[in-house]
Amino acid sequence: MTDLIEDQHGQAGTATEFVCNGVTVRVGEHPHLLAALREELGLTAAKDGCSPSGQCGCCTVLINGKARVACQIPLDKVAGGEVVTPEGLSNDERHRYAAAFGAVGAVQCGFCTPGIVMRVKALIDRNGAGLSREQASRHLGAHLCRCTGYLKILDAVEMLAKGAEAPSSLQSSNGAAVQVRRGVGARAARYESTDLTLGDKHYIDDMSVPGMLHGAVHLAEHARADVIAIDTSEAEAVAGVVAVITAADVPGDLRIGLIHKDWPVFIPVGGRTSYLGDVLALVVAESRETARQAAQLVKVDYQPLAPITDPEAAVADGAEDAVWGLDGNVLSVSSYQRGGSVTEALAASAHSVSETFQTQRVEQAFLEPESTLAVPTSTNGQTGQRGLNVYSGGQGVWDDRDQIAAVLGIDNSRVWVEQVANGGAFGGKEDCSNQAQTALAAWLLNRPVKTTFSREESLLVHPKRHPVRIELQVGCDSEGRLTALKARMLGDSGPYASVGMKVLERAAGHACGPYVVPVVDVEAVAARSNNSVCGAFRGFGANQAQFATEGALDRLAAAVGISGWEIRQRNAVHPGAVWGPGQIMDDGSLGAQQCLEAVKPAYDAAVAAGKAVGLGLGLKNSGLGNGFKEISRAVVHFIADESRPAGSPAGPDSTVEVRHCWTEMGQGVHTVALQVAVEELGVRPEQVKVYVDTSRELGAGQTTGSRGTLMGAGSVARACQAAKDGGCVTGVDYLGEYRVDWTNKLSDGLENPVIHSTFGYAAQVVVADRASGEVERVIAAHDVGRAVNPLLCEGQIEGSVHMGLGYALSEDFPCDSDGRPQFDTLRALGVLRAKDMPPVEVILVEAPQPDSPYGIKGVGEIGLVPTAGAVAEAMRQVDGQWRNRLPINAHQPVVPQS
């Protein structure tokens, strides 16, 4: 039923009555059902990834037994009806679904999972054991999952439809998934997988505190324009608006940044916008809806200027500055030469290829939009100073803290940033998004403030993958052994630095791929423009560079008359070989050849079967390298209790806290920390509690560069050793530290620099149908050094392959000549859905990395480095066209041969 009520301002409104999770409720006016569930009823398991567009599926609930996306449902459509959210599932259902999803590794960051669970429940209620995998994949088309690649989700669906139980070693007495009683190497369920599956794990936008206000940004209307005036009066006059904050209110630094402090938190009057994600104002109001409505009423007087959107024109002599207050449009130049004259070496080669490759800008499409909650703290009695607690989902909370403190003009000791596990990041949450603006609002108003981006705002603001043009020349001898490589790269980094110079530096370093090349000449330029900011994204320049390198190898293989497998095997790095900038490879490089050998049977069989077959071989560093001093610390602490007070030896049932410094964003770093503690201390997994501890200085830098597992495991293992050396006493913090501080900068000019401490390797075979060009399956052999958790490794690889296939075929985020992104919804991005994902056979190769904890190598990024090159070759075998531009479907679509 629907009737009238009065809101908090005494205004008449509409109330809607329906049954929710078995209880009759009455709610006030809201833009859609999702808002009523989350904001009034406090039911936050249904997540908001894109409201009100209904394109992600994260908010799926049951309405009268049917799966529906709640952000698309007006309240009058549920009046008198019945709504079931994940919180309303029966205890038996909750246990069964959590056990199945945990057992098969179907949950990673968890943001999309509760919505998928509700869809799966509706499908099983309707179809029972007759629900097929193919049928489920079609119905999951309403859902995006950026982490898993869907395959393990479909494994869970099959288990649930058949009524199968999770393996007993992965189940507790109540049916929920738990860790097996083993440490490193165990195929174990993810830490907190039950809470993640059911939506009980809170993300920032699920959090609420008394007296909390809501922020909403007003973004730039022009990519490049002088700001003449900002009029906030109309917005301030809206009932419920508390303040409108602009650059004039910033007491400290106006610009922030991870490397260069060049990114304004607000564009002031007299300043100039540099892209459409620039923030002009933050409206703070009593409700989210009020803040959003009022933000649209901020009036800005602009003097539009011609945006600079062509990176080649941007770096040309005489070009106007793209960015306000900065001199020139060349962000960085990374270069090196080795082995003599590349011109002479190419001329002397039996075969050579010269090709220009172009990769595209890509959006991370993490499912959780950026959100920040800032809460002022009371005045400290000793110092007389107040402070600020900030809850951030960023990938580097210490960087967040330092930048927030700089904007507020206070010492960073007065700012505590707590890391909240996020709903996916893939590099896109390294830079501050709305942390500084939200913190400033809370600081000025002395009230809690939460700001959550809409999907459209998220797409505009955060950095993307760089589009890179690569002019490549590669030569080989008559037997296919590489002789020389020359590369000239130009990447569009957008207006602000972010980590763009490091992405192009990484692309330069990886220009040779995993191959031995005697003569090398590489230069990579990062250009500033007025397009979207570009920065970190899974692969970090290695994807772009190796798409070109793999394409060159396939062209040379055709010229020599050998297979793609053979040319890679003849040139792959090996211990003692000189790689890229001159680094001498260690025994960890055995993984390249081992990955090739692992896929050879499948490669040969597919060729024999007459399929179109592409092969890619890739390498990706683990760790930042390039001279960066990388430090990871962890604390192990046995909890004291009445039976074992502080200072007593820990007992066999004592709770163990493991505190580390890495952002959990679906990759499983919490699980790694737990398994290392189990391995080293001999405790049961149920005894271990894992936390990211930002109350002390445990970390240095971002959770990035495929280094969380490697460095996290190293620091936790050393903390465990300290505990054992100290007798495992309750109430004591045992500190462990792991560091990598022996790498060299590319610019050091050393003959044989150690650019990176660790590399992972991967070989992927893409098998396609020659008639249609459809990818039928992928075989992925990945050298992980040592699989701390094989189940989680498989999930990372399958998710990476999904992302790599999208990168190769369909994903794009183009900007027009005005610097305006052409896509503003998730659906437009070209992300593959469940029905589009082919089977993936994962082969784990373990070639231990010398001097690495347990021999570990990173696996988070390498999974999509070789994919695009393999897809390009498979498509060439379908229609005879060489591919040099991504995404293939947009620029060089398959035309099957008759």
Lowest mean pLDDT among 56-60, 544-548, 705-709: 705-709
DSSP state of 345: H
The C-alpha angle with vertex 275 and arms to 270 and 281, in degrees rounded to 5, equals 55
CA-CA distance, 628 to 878, in Å (whole number)?
45
- Torsion angle defined by CA atoms of residues 599, 602, 606 and 609, in that order, rounded to the nearest 10 degrees: 150
pLDDT of residue 638 exceeding 70, the answer is yes
Looking at residue 10, what is its pLDDT? Answer: 45
CA-CA distance, 460 to 22, in Å (whole number)?
40
Backbone dihedral region for residue 119 (phi beyond 0: left; psi -120 to 50: alpha; all else: beta): alpha
Looking at residue 759, what is its pLDDT? Answer: 94
Report the candidate in 318, 436, 369 with the shortest Cα–Cα distance to residue 826.
369
741-774 pLDDT per residue, tens: 889 988 888 889 998 889 999 999 999 999 999 9
| CA R_g for the chain | 27
**Contact partners, residue 665, CB within 8 Å, separation at least 6:** 109, 393, 395, 421, 422, 423, 424, 425, 429, 703
4-62 pLDDT per residue, tens: 454 443 445 689 999 999 999 999 999 999 999 999 999 999 999 999 999 999 999 99
Residue of higher predicted confidence among 226 and 177:
226
Looking at residue 384, what is its pLDDT? Answer: 73
- Torsion angle defined by CA atoms of residues 670, 424, 266 and 213, in that order, rounded to the nearest 10 degrees: -80
Looking at residue 117, what is its pLDDT? Answer: 98
pTM: 0.95
CA-CA distance, 304 to 308, in Å (whole number)?
12
Question: Do the Cβ atoms of 198 and 94 come closer than 8 Å?
Answer: yes
CA-CA distance, 192 to 108, in Å (whole number)?
10
**Residues above pLDDT 70, as percent of the chain:** 96
pLDDT of residue 174 exceeding 50, the answer is no
pLDDT average, residue stretch 397-410: 96
Burial 334-371 (b: 16+ CB within 10 A, else e): bbbebbeebeebbeebebbbeeebbbbbbbbbbbbbbb
Looking at residue 820, what is its pLDDT? Answer: 98
Looking at residue 625, what is its pLDDT? Answer: 85
DSSP string across 212-263? -EEEEEEE-SSSSEEEEEEE-HHHHTSTTEEEEE-GGG--S-SEE-SSS--E
pLDDT average, residue stretch 595-611: 98
pLDDT of residue 173 exceeding 50, the answer is no
Lowest mean pLDDT among 9-23, 335-349, 401-415, 656-670: 9-23
Q: Is 797 helix (H, G, I), strand (E, B) or coil?
A: helix
pLDDT band, very low/low/confident/very high, at 896 (cuts 50, 70, 90): confident
263-318 pLDDT per residue, tens: 999 999 999 999 999 999 999 999 999 999 999 999 999 999 999 999 999 999 99
464-521 pLDDT per residue, tens: 999 999 999 999 999 999 999 999 999 999 999 999 999 999 999 999 999 999 999 9
Looking at residue 380, what is its pLDDT? Answer: 62
CB neighbours (10 Å) of residue 42? 10
Tokens of 353: 């290829």
DSSP state of 388: E
pLDDT average, residue stretch 683-707: 87
Tokens of 847: 């070639």
Please state, rounded to an integer, the average pLDDT across all residues of the chain. Answer: 94
CA-CA distance, 186 to 638, in Å (whole number)?
23
pLDDT band, very low/low/confident/very high, at 422 (cuts 50, 70, 90): very high
Question: Do the Cβ atoms of 230 and 280 come closer than 8 Å?
Answer: yes
Backbone dihedral region for residue 479 (phi beyond 0: left; psi -120 to 50: alpha; all else: beta): alpha
Looking at residue 245, what is its pLDDT? Answer: 98
Question: Do the Cβ atoms of 412 and 443 come closer than 8 Å?
Answer: no
pLDDT of residue 381 exceeding 90, the answer is no
pLDDT of residue 172 exceeding 50, the answer is no
Mode of pairing for the β-strands spanning 213-219 and 449-452: parallel
Looking at residue 2, what is its pLDDT? Answer: 54
Looking at residue 178, what is its pLDDT? Answer: 46
pLDDT average, residue stretch 775-791: 97
CA-CA distance, 498 to 501, in Å (whole number)?
8
Length of the chain equals 898
The C-alpha angle with vertex 596 and arms to 595 and 598, in degrees rounded to 5, equals 65
pLDDT average, residue stretch 235-245: 98
656-678 pLDDT per residue, tens: 999 998 889 989 999 999 999 99
Tokens of 242: 């508390």
